[in-house]
Structure formats: structure tokens, C-alpha cells
A and B are shown apart, each in its own frame.
Chain A
């Protein structure tokens, strides 16, 4: 009766093998590496880059232990921290600003493990050192900005249709338009409802004044807030790239917060500066270019002069790095419009040619300026520049094909990807809404290493103590319980590695605690078997009944623990979440290992013996006189 069928043994053996394979990468450790990834979407991490990295390192007499190419970067594994720093400086100097060169760690596990997707657990900031920021985005300002644009649109629209009005203003989250008479207001309401579908206008009469009060529709509010948040996240991502962080995490949290985690960053002051920086988008006219003679601004002489160091007055020489052309352009210093006038930029597809384009929308004021400008400048080129810390960078410089105003398209040699990237860059030039750091947690690298050691010792110490006690008290059944507990640890680590969960110090505490609690199931089973033996059952029957009866209790008690774990997962944040994830997973793995794995061993060892006289489960004490 204490036998498992072959397939049951097979499942358990398979689980153990899988567990072992996925736990392995954690045992190999990591070695220092340098990671090179392209800064722009137009540059790719490819064999050429890999060859270049190898070449630079060889010339600098640095011998990497291996250079690897993956989807988005090239990584070089190095012998020690010293060479790592040297290699980073060398690569950064040689590759220039187009590539991000960051310090990283590379797993030492053999290639076949990486090939089947077995990776080590990701260490949290409290274990590897780094900075964690929580930023609060002021979405009210994003709405206010949007309404500011709406006010301009209202004025433009009413003027265009020659509807008389006496004023349009924004107060907080509303737009108020005043009219002198009712007829004008009714006409205005009709017109505005048609042209501004995102708004809801109500008419209010007050003290001889006829007013329209407009508020954003809830969908429009949501869309505006979402766009603002996305834009801020994109901007943050661009800025973090400059910090040279190997694996930054930038994520939305809740409705209006963004988490930024920068592993390995020690200079928090610089990190805060860069995250808090403001960049602006500017549109300016191209005064001269030397590439295309068909355009009106073709003037190689001016370009030559600018390259020689004498740009015409009021202009500057900039290079269009778009599509890796690296084209010299003489660009006017006069700003046509700034990014504040830009309300949207999105990738789309040209209806006629079917090629990817970027469609751009400006607010009312921007539209008027643009119309006046483009009327006279067909055939010239206009550049979109991102200005950060006074340093302009050309995002794109398309040719003006015809007169346009508030909505226009930028076409060029885009792929779907590069159109998406450009749209993001246009939008992300500036933050859509101000942000403030509301939480910071910085952990130094030494403390991180110390935390790993502390967590590890805690676990090993506790495990050893439990093992000693269980074996002394329960004999062979104690040994089996400890094997089951080890299997539990194996499964838990394997599962965490498979999910690529982030391991934190509270997470290690949770592993230790889970092991301490998981032994409960085996104690329950062992005690139950002893009790059955005490009541005079045969060993085989006692084992069977012990496992059978203990199961209900184990299930109930684990479900209640799981409820607590899930609550922690739902309401917890930061360190508590790490604890909760491990705790919940640990409960699940412990049910499998404590019951199935230990039973399998018992069945293998005792189940085959037809006439079992005695089991090794410590002393089974029988009271001389038993009540009842």
C-alpha cells in the first residue's frame, strides 16, 4: 500500500532534475564585465560592434575572458574589477557618445545552462548596492498644460469662424469662455463641440454674462495623464541611459508614480541631477546644407565655411546624426517654436505610400506660427533639436513639402521602429509634468555584500540546527524530512531563478523562515505515524495513515499562511513585497516537497518490504496504562 507508481517517481525525479538545473547558475557566481549598448535606435548591437569592442580591447592590451553578443548589447567578461574599470574607460573614450558603456556582472555559469534559459536570480539593490528612487508625477500640472493649449485653440477657432467673444481663460481644471450675447454663445458652443471633441462645454448665465465652461471629458483626462506619465518615463529612460547603468529599472507604480532603480550607482547626487534635468525641444530653420542641390537652402560654400570654423552670423553648425548620415547642417539660432507647443507626436503610416511616418500635432499658437512660416519656406528644411544643458542635438531635419499648420507629418527613410523612436524623442524632449522624488533608498556596495553574507549565514545556521535536531529526534524519518526540506530549498531557488524574481534581504529572510515553517508538515506526518504506531497499528498501516491524515491538516494550515502571504503581496511595497513573493512560492513548493518527495523516499525504502517489523522514527513510547 505504500507504493508509488513508476510515473509518480518519474514526476518527482523530473522535478528534482529541473530544480537542480535551474538552481545551478546561482552557484557559479558572477564576474565583472563591461556592457556596450548603442545609445540610439539607429545603431545596432551586431557582429561589427562585437569585432570593434574586441579590437579596442586588444589594442589596449586588455585580454577579455570572453566577448558575447546578445539582443541589445555586447558584453565583455573581464578578470577583475581593476581591468573592468580600465576597459570601461578605454571603450567609452574610443566608442564615443553613441554607445553606453556600463559596468555589469556576467554569470559564470557554463554556456549550456544559459542556452536553456537557466539564469541566476536577480539580486536586489540591498544585496548588490545601488539607488532606488520613487518619483511622484504631478499630473494636475499635465492637465493644466493641456488646458492652456485648449484656451489657445478656443481663441483660434472662434476667431476663424468670426464668432464674437469677450474672453477665454483657464482657472485650475476648467476653461471659461465669455460671450456678450446668447446667440454668439450658442454658435460658439456648437463650433467648439465640433472642433474640440475632448471637451465638454456647459453654458452658464451669470450677471448678464453668457459663459461656456469647458472641462476635459474623463476619457480625455485619462488619456492626457497616461500620455504625460509615458512621456516622463521615456524621458527618464533617456536620461538614465546617460548614467551608464547596466540594468536600470524604470516602471510605473500606481496611478502617478515612477520607480527608478539603478543598480551599482554610487554617485546619487549626479543621479538626482540627471533625473531632475529639464530638456527642451526646439524647431529651427536650416540655413544651409550641402547634400541635396534640389532644395532651396543648398549652399555648400556656407557649409564649408562653417566647417572651417566660420558659420554665418546667427547660425551654428550641427550634425544630423539621424539615420547615421552624419550630415553637416548650418542651422539658424532663431527658434521657430519650442516643444511646449507640441501636443502630440505619434508613429503612423502614410496613406499613399504605406511607409512609416511620424505625425505631429501642435496647439493653436504653434499652428499659427507654423502656417506663417511654412507659407514662405516650401522647399527649405526645418530641424527638430533636443537641447539639453545648452547643447543642441539634431533629431531630424526634414524638407518642408508644402504649407501646413497644426497637424503635419515628418516622412523620411523611416522603419517602423525608427518612426516610433523619433515620435518618442519628440514627445520626450521635456517632462510632460513636474516630478518630485518622494522616496530614496541607497545601499552601498560593501553593505550589499555584507547583507548577502548575513542572509546566507542565517539560513545555513538555521538549516543545520534543524537538521541536527530532526535526525536526532526522528532517526531515519528525520533524515528523510531533511532531504525533503533540501528539495524544498532547491525547488524554491529554482522557481525564483526561473521567474527571474528579484532577491532581496527580506527575500532571503523569507526563504529561511519558509524552511523553518515548512518542516511543520514533516513534523505533523512523523508525529502522526508515531501516534498510529502507539495505537498498535502495523508499521505499513501507520505510514499510510500518517501521511493520509496529516495531509488535510497540512493543506488547511498552508492555505491560511498563503492568505497572509497574498495580503502582503497585495498591500506590501518595496522590501515587504520581496518577502511576500518568496513566502508565497515557498508555501507552494513546501507542500510538494514535504508530502510527495518525502513519501517517495519512504515508499522506496519501506514500501517494498512486505514484512516490515520496525521503522526508524525515533522512540515510540507506549504508556503502560492507557485511558479508554
Chain B
């Protein structure tokens, strides 16, 4: 089997502007939604209480809501998840009510309605802890970005680092945008997925960049213009890019199917990240590299004599 029967290099760079316009539009939509609607932050970040209950008979949600109002929550979120016997209750942070004892109080109230309840999961996060988790998440994002720019600058050249991180932060913003537009719950596992995607799609950029560097050093491209060199690099790595992403996506799809509630949004974030990862590193990162004014001399230093076949690092 061979899916990629490409006769000549695809002139990606000629259409670079179009791709980037599309990119900018998606990006703006994401940013717009993030500022207007914001993220639907999970209990991990806002603080509050989440309880998962399983009933033996399908319960009446309105009755459960009434009880929550009685305890003191004006607008409780009570909904089904999974089957009709499973109930998810979310209670926001409320001064004086939000303590570790709240879950017992809720259970007491609900047992008066129906004794056949099994408490499957409780999550209680104090408001202070939630704030810290959010701060730590932002710090992690910053740390990853700086770390990657630093590493790529060291291993390649600063232009690579900058264009890779712009392309991939754009992925992150778009994932967040999706979560904002559809108001999916943003929880700690989703944050983990976002950071994993950041590392993963930089992977992608690295593979292309590696090829760009190799091309610059090769005899074949001594007289080729920069866009041509990049086009060839993208074309040559394209089959690998798509197959790798396809394989990773197979695994992620399996998580979407079998992973249940906890892993669903995690896998969803990965899916978006993987799709946009291909697009951004190939079609956003590379043109950026071009526009940042990459030249042969950035990578090939004439005074260093290289043995043929040595593609070792320039550190």
C-alpha cells in the first residue's frame, strides 16, 4: 500500500497567505468566543462540589433540585449523565455552605426522597485551591512554551523556535476556542490534554524543520530558493505526518469510544489538537519561518566542514 503518490513537490508556500488568512480567522473566532463567553471551567478550577449518584429507580430531577434549593443553592445544576439512573449534581461555591461537610448534607436530604442511592463520586474543591490550580495551569503553559522555544533555538535557530511556538500556541487557542464555543467542561484532564498536544504538535514542526535543515545542507538544493526548499521538506514528510497522526488518532478514538465520562473531554481535546496540529505546523509554522527571513546561512555555516552523511546536531 502507498497512499501518497506525489509526483512533484506541492507548492505549499505559494498558497501560504491563504492558509494564514484562514488561520487568522479561526484564531479570531476562538479569541472572540473566549473573551465573550469564556470557558466553562470545571469544579477543579472554580471550586465547588460535584457529586455523581446512582439510583436504583430513575429519579425525578425536579424533586432533587427542590432539595438543593432548600439547602441554599438558588440555581443548582442537576442532570442525567450516562443512563437515566445516573445523576450529576454540581453545586457552586457559596459562602458558608461550601465545606467538606456539604456532601453529607446533600446525601441526607436526598436519602429522604429515596434510600436506594449509591454515591459514586464526590469532588469538593475549595475556592482557594481552584484558583491555584488555574494559576499553575497557566504557569505550566508558559513554562512549556519557553522551554520549547529555548530548545529549538539551541538545536536549530531562534526563527524555528519562534515560528513553531506561534503555530502551536495557535493550536492551543483553537482547542480552547472549541471548548468555549460549545461550552464543554474544561477540567484538569483537559488541561493535561492541551499541554500534551502542545508537546505533540511541536513534534510535528520539528520533523518538518529537521527536513528543512537537511535540505539546506544537501547538494541537491544548493541553488534552490527558500520556498522551494520548504515545499520539498513538507512534501517529503507528509506521508509520515499523516500516518503518525492517523495512528495517534486511532488510539484517541478508542478512548472516545470506551473511555467513559472521565476520558471523553480529554480525548476530545486531543482530537482537535491532532487535527489542527497537522495543519498548523505544516501550513502555519513553515510560512512563518519563511517570512521571518530564514536563509541558508542561518543553518549552514560555511566555515564548518561537514563529512558527507553526517547530519548531526548544530548545538
- Residue-wise interface mask of A (436-472) relative to B, using a CB-CB cutoff of 8 A (1 in contact, 0 not): 1111111110110011001101111111011001101
Name the A residues within 8 Å of B52 (CB-CB): 447
CB distance A272 to B152 under 8 Å?
A: no
Name the B residues within 8 Å of A455 (CB-CB): 259, 263
Q: Which of A354-362, A367-375, A568-576 contacts B (4 or more CB under 8 A)?
A: A568-576
Residues B139-179 near A (CB distance < 8 A): 139-141, 143-144, 147-148, 151-152, 155
Chain B nearest CB, measured from A440 CB (Å): 4
CB distance A516 to B252 under 8 Å?
A: yes
A473 to B247, CA, bound (A): 12
Q: Which of B15-23, B64-72, B99-107 contacts A (4 or more CB under 8 A)?
A: B99-107
- Residue-wise interface mask of A (418-450) relative to B, using a CB-CB cutoff of 8 A (1 in contact, 0 not): 000000000000000000111111111011001
Name the B residues within 8 Å of A519 (CB-CB): 244, 247-248
Name the B residues within 8 Å of A549 (CB-CB): 214, 311
Name the B residues within 8 Å of A103 (CB-CB): none
Closest to A528 in B: B240
Residues B115-139 near A (CB distance < 8 A): 118-126, 128-129, 133, 136-137, 139
Partner of A506, one of B140, B147, B257, B266: B266
CB distance B203 to A561 under 8 Å?
A: yes
Asked whether B2 is an interface residue with its Cβ less than 8 Å from the other chain, the reply is yes
Partner of A440, one of B100, B141, B192, B240: B100
Partner of B258, one of A458, A515, A583: A458
Q: Which of A114-122, A279-287, A551-559 contacts B (4 or more CB under 8 A)?
A: A551-559
Closest to B133 in A: A573
Partner of B243, one of A461, A527, A531, A559: A527
A572 to B193, CA, bound (A): 12
Partner of A576, one of B8, B189, B237: B189
- Residue-wise interface mask of B (191-216) relative to A, using a CB-CB cutoff of 8 A (1 in contact, 0 not): 11001101110111011001100100
Asked whether B313 is an interface residue with its Cβ less than 8 Å from the other chain, the reply is yes
CB distance B121 to A570 under 8 Å?
A: no
CB distance B120 to A444 under 8 Å?
A: yes
CB distance A444 to B121 under 8 Å?
A: yes
Name the B residues within 8 Å of A567 (CB-CB): 140-141, 143-144, 147, 195
A563 to B254, CA, bound (A): 26
Closest to B125 in A: A439
Residues B84-121 near A (CB distance < 8 A): 99-101, 103-104, 118-121
Asked whether A524 is an interface residue with its Cβ less than 8 Å from the other chain, the reply is yes
Chain B nearest CB, measured from A608 CB (Å): 24
Closest to A574 in B: B188
In the complex where A440-B100, A520-B203 touch, is A268 in contact with B122 (Cβ < 8 A)? Answer: yes
In the complex where A505-B263, A573-B133 touch, is A516 in contact with B195 (Cβ < 8 A)? Answer: no
CB distance A573 to B136 under 8 Å?
A: yes
A465 to B258, CA, bound (A): 14
CB distance A517 to B136 under 8 Å?
A: no
CB distance A527 to B248 under 8 Å?
A: no
Asked whether B81 is an interface residue with its Cβ less than 8 Å from the other chain, the reply is no
Closest to B107 in A: A269
CB distance A509 to B263 under 8 Å?
A: yes
- Residue-wise interface mask of A (519-562) relative to B, using a CB-CB cutoff of 8 A (1 in contact, 0 not): 11001100100110000000000000000110011001111111
A551 to B47, CA, bound (A): 45
Name the B residues within 8 Å of A412 (CB-CB): none
Chain A nearest CB, measured from B163 CB (Å): 14
Chain B nearest CB, measured from A196 CB (Å): 34
Closest to A524 in B: B240
CB distance B126 to A269 under 8 Å?
A: no
Asked whether B262 is an interface residue with its Cβ less than 8 Å from the other chain, the reply is yes
Residues A570-628 near B (CB distance < 8 A): 570-576, 579-580, 583, 618-621, 623, 625-628
A566 to B5, CA, bound (A): 39
Asked whether B239 is an interface residue with its Cβ less than 8 Å from the other chain, the reply is yes
A442 to B118, CA, bound (A): 12
A556 to B314, CA, bound (A): 12
Asked whether B270 is an interface residue with its Cβ less than 8 Å from the other chain, the reply is yes
Asked whether B226 is an interface residue with its Cβ less than 8 Å from the other chain, the reply is no
Partner of A563, one of B5, B7, B103, B148: B148
Name the B residues within 8 Å of A444 (CB-CB): 118-121
Chain B nearest CB, measured from A70 CB (Å): 33
A457 to B255, CA, bound (A): 8
Asked whether B312 is an interface residue with its Cβ less than 8 Å from the other chain, the reply is yes
Name the A residues within 8 Å of B152 (CB-CB): 560
Chain B nearest CB, measured from A267 CB (Å): 10
A568 to B143, CA, bound (A): 9
Chain A nearest CB, measured from B243 CB (Å): 5
Partner of B206, one of A136, A557, A576: A557
A571 to B192, CA, bound (A): 11
Closest to B246 in A: A469
A531 to B262, CA, bound (A): 41
Closest to A438 in B: B126
CB distance A560 to B206 under 8 Å?
A: yes
Residues B256-315 near A (CB distance < 8 A): 257-260, 262-263, 266-267, 270, 309, 311-313
Chain A nearest CB, measured from B97 CB (Å): 14
A470 to B246, CA, bound (A): 11
Partner of B240, one of A472, A527, A571, A580: A527
CB distance A451 to B262 under 8 Å?
A: yes
In the complex where A454-B260, A458-B263, A473-B1 touch, is A583 in contact with B124 (Cβ < 8 A)? Answer: no
Partner of A552, one of B5, B6, B204, B313: B313
A558 to B1, CA, bound (A): 28
Chain B nearest CB, measured from A560 CB (Å): 4
A161 to B120, CA, bound (A): 65
A575 to B42, CA, bound (A): 14
CB distance B255 to A440 under 8 Å?
A: no
Asked whether A491 is an interface residue with its Cβ less than 8 Å from the other chain, the reply is no
Closest to B224 in A: A628
CB distance A572 to B244 under 8 Å?
A: no
A436 to B128, CA, bound (A): 12
CB distance A560 to B239 under 8 Å?
A: no
CB distance A563 to B199 under 8 Å?
A: yes
Chain B nearest CB, measured from A125 CB (Å): 10
Chain B nearest CB, measured from A339 CB (Å): 26
Name the B residues within 8 Å of A465 (CB-CB): 250-251, 253-254
A549 to B189, CA, bound (A): 35
A436 to B126, CA, bound (A): 10
Q: Could you pull out 29 A-B pairs where Cβ atoms are within 8 angstroms?
A: A269-B104, A272-B104, A437-B126, A442-B103, A442-B121, A447-B121, A454-B259, A455-B263, A473-B243, A505-B263, A509-B263, A509-B267, A512-B255, A513-B270, A517-B248, A519-B244, A519-B247, A524-B240, A524-B244, A548-B309, A559-B155, A564-B200, A565-B196, A568-B195, A568-B196, A571-B137, A571-B140, A623-B6, A626-B7
Which residues of A come within 8 Å of B, CB atoms? Answer: 126, 133-134, 136, 268-269, 272, 436-444, 446-447, 450-451, 454-455, 457-463, 465-466, 469-470, 472-473, 505-506, 509, 512-513, 515-517, 519-520, 523-524, 527, 530-531, 548-549, 552-553, 556-568, 570-576, 579-580, 583, 618-621, 623, 625-628
Kindly list 6 other residue pairs between chains A and B, CB separation below 8 angstroms, not including A126-B262, A527-B240. A457-B254, A513-B248, A530-B2, A565-B196, A572-B140, A580-B192
